[in-house]
Structure 1
Amino acid sequence: MAKYDYWLTDDGLQLLAGWARSGLTDEQIAHNMGIAVSTLYEWKKRYSEISEVLKNNKEIADIAVENALYKRAIGYSYTETTKEDGKVIKTVEKEVVPDTTAQIFWLKNRQPERWRDKQEIQNSGNMDFNVTIKVVE
């Protein structure tokens, strides 16, 4: 059995899916597979099953993080339940205030033309103007 054969089985693809959904990089996934990252890149080109399972599950993880960042940026509320011996003792509604850092990160990445720190201004070079300096003694 060739080394890649296992990774094309349902068990192998499920393991790859789990690693991708957990946020592992291609380098980490290759390490877990016991292969060089260049081999993983080659297998992704050659075997669409491997490429698709990694792509789709990385996307799932990215969406989950994006949703969490968005939630943190706008703030949210949740119910905290305290239990003792399996019985509910207290239920409290808590609120997490919007996070300015999350808002800045979101805006800089989603709308960089409006929110980047450094604004680029282009000058056509066709502006003629004269400056007169008057020295007052």
Structure 2
Amino acid sequence: MAKKVGRKSKYESHVKPMLKDITAWLREGETQASVCKRIGVSQSAFIEYKKEFPKLNEAIKKGEQFLDLQVEESLAKRAIGYEYEETKTVIEVLPSGDKKKRIEKVKKHIAPDVGAIALYMKHKRILQSKDEELTGVQIKKAQAEASILQNRADKLTVSEMERQQVNDLIAIGQEIIGLGGDEDATT
């Protein structure tokens, strides 16, 4: 059995015991680079640990997803505007010289932020274009699969009735994926 050559991994001693902390730090907005500094591990080693240890990836994902959700919620809030209640303590000096405290609550409205709206719309367009690309890939895959099935159907030596049933199924599939289906599938 070959013995590993090189420096001993710090995962067990420096990373594994800190998984909950890593998640918490990432939730608070720290970068992975700053997490590396905190736990005393190089960024290159951290990258290797992410490849090797799924629990580290889970901890990172949990922390970053939480932060992502908070940012998304804040962005949405800024994009549509919101209200909040501002509380302030007012100290009045009475004619007698005594001081009287009173608390004022005022509802404030923050108007929608044009920059937040633009950012949201840009992000939405990017996601839509990725969905469209994915749909295009799915259509190409379905077209290729339909072609394979057509070739297989052509090679089968079956009765004319069975061949027609197979061709009918292929035509239906072609119609679904937008290839048409008006022409006979065996031609």
User: Which protein shows a greater Rg?
Assistant: 2
Measured after TM superposition, the shift of residue 107 of structure 1 is 0.3
Distance change in 2, residues 1:52/1:77 (3 Å): same
Corresponding residue for residue 135 of structure 1: none
SS in 2 for 1:111: helix
Q: Is the Cα–Cα contact under 8 Å of residues 26 and 67 in structure 2 kept in the other structure?
A: yes
Answer yes or no: is 1:40 the counterpart of 2:46. yes
1:35-69: per-residue Cα shift (whole Å, max 9, x none)? 21110011111111111011111010011001001
Answer yes or no: is 1:3 the counterpart of 2:17. no
Name structure 2 gaps, 5 residues minimum.
1-7, 92-100, 129-187
TM-score by length of 2: 0.53
TM-score by length of 1: 0.71
The Cα RMSD (Å) is 2.3
Corresponding residue for residue 98 of structure 1: 112
Corresponding residue for residue 17 of structure 1: 23
Measured after TM superposition, the shift of residue 16 of structure 1 is 0.5
Q: Is the Cα–Cα contact under 8 Å of residues 81 and 88 in structure 1 kept in the other structure?
A: no
**Cα distance in 1 between the residues matched to 2:10 and 2:45:** 11
Corresponding residue for residue 89 of structure 1: 103
**Cα distance in 2 between the residues matched to 1:84 and 1:62:** 38
Name structure 1 gaps, 5 residues minimum.
115-137
Match of 1:27 among 30, 33, 44: 33
Equivalent pairs, count: 111
Distance change in 2, residues 1:92/1:61 (3 Å): same
Higher helix share: 2
Q: Is the Cα–Cα contact under 8 Å of residues 10 and 41 in structure 2 kept in the other structure?
A: no
**Cα distance in 2 between the residues matched to 1:43 and 1:109:** 31
- Return the letter of the residue paired with 1:4: Y
Measured after TM superposition, the shift of residue 2 of structure 1 is 5.7
Q: How does 1:123-134 map to 2 (within 5 A)?
A: none
- Return the letter of the residue paired with 1:57: G
**Which structure is richer in relative contact order (CA contacts within 8 A, separation 6 or more)?**
1
SS in 2 for 1:49: helix
**Cα distance in 1 between the residues matched to 2:78 and 2:114:** 9
Corresponding residue for residue 84 of structure 2: 78
SS in 1 for 2:11: coil
